[in-house]
Amino acid sequence: MNRIIRVGSRKSLLAMTQTKLIIEELKHHFPEYTYEIVEITTTGDRIQDVKLDKIGGKGLFIKELEDAMAEGRIDFAVHSLKDMPAELEGDTKIVAISKRVNPMDVLVMPVGKKISDLREDSIIGTSSIRRERQILKWRPKSKIKMLRGNVPTRIRKLDEGEYDAIVLAAAGLIRLGLSDRITYTFSESEMLPSVGQGALAIEAPKNSPILHMLEILNDRKTQLETEAERAFSKSLGGSCSTPIGALAVLSGETIELKVMYGEQEKEGYKQMVKKCKVSQRNEVAIEMAEQLRRLI
């Protein structure tokens, strides 16, 4: 009888879609196994009317999944890497990081609207302090209104007239087949994405007997890029309450790292760009964090 591998996933449509993508890849390499999705509701899913930094930050989307691993109810979990804290605690680890799709943020407006229709004082939806700071530099007169919920819920609120535009991750829309809702893609100079945005993380117990299977899912380019981004974030104590953005791009044996950082209590933010050898990526990321901290 085939062994059943239980895969933990949040219940949202995007999370389930991402988990199914990972399972399809595993089936390609290991068709002899049966894969079962275990849907789990996290604290971040339950509390939808409060900003994340007010109720505990990034860990709110992974704790219940980690508990399920500790209790043996699931064998591994699939996460959006951007939802994971800079450092994991306990007996689990990130085993693999899948190939990244478009890491940028996008603006979504009602059907038929163009970026040229966006008024200077438009109501723009986001609950991310990183996005908020960069929006206010891009369009200083914008009115920022909190936006929580899964992707379809956010788009529904936009279409019902609660917002003139909302900011979402391109990757989520692409994976859900909603690319046609993208009105405008921000450039790197306008809005740096969240650390790890566009990549999926596979988390499993450190002593899992299927580590060798999960490691096949790892994309080296994405791993090297996001390691640099996460080193930058970790050095700054990255959390949902701090405006931190980073985008690393690997080309050959060189990585270019673009970062932004601001303080929670102060308006604005600072940016920095550096290139380095791949072997120096984490060291340079930490140096950049220290330099930006001194500038703020």
- Ranges of each domain in the chain: 1-99+200-218, 105-185, 220-296
- Intrachain domains 105-185 and 220-296 with the same fold: no
Res. 241: pLDDT tops 50: yes
The mean pLDDT of 87-103, rounded to a whole number, is 94
Q: What's phi and psi for 113, nearest 5 deg?
A: -90, 150
Longest dimension (CA), the chain: 63
Out of 3.30.160.40, 3.40.50.720, 3.40.50.12640, 3.90.110.10, select the CATH number for domain 220-296: 3.30.160.40
**pLDDT tens profile 152-185:** 999 999 999 999 999 999 999 999 999 999 999 9
The mean pLDDT of 23-35, rounded to a whole number, is 97
d(CA 257, CA 263): 20
Res. 209: pLDDT tops 60: yes
Which residue, among 51, 55, 59, has the nearest Cα to 85 in the 3D structure?
59
**What mean pLDDT value characterizes the chain?**
93
Which residue, among 274, 266, 273, has the nearest Cα to 296 in the 3D structure?
266
pLDDT of res. 169: 98
Q: Which CATH superfamily is domain 105-185 in?
A: Periplasmic binding protein-like II (3.40.190.10)
State whether residue 226 is helix, strand or coil. Answer: helix
Q: Among the options 83, 164, 180, 219, which is catalytic?
A: 83
Res. 1: pLDDT tops 60: no
In the CATH hierarchy, which fold is given to the domain comprising 1-99+200-218?
Answer: D-Maltodextrin-Binding Protein; domain 2 (3.40.190)
| E strand intervals along 231-269 | 244-251, 254-261
Active site residue 91: no
pTM (predicted TM-score): 0.92
Lowest mean pLDDT among 47-56, 142-151, 191-200, 284-293: 47-56
d(CA 179, CA 58): 26
pLDDT above 90 covers a percentage of the chain that reads 84
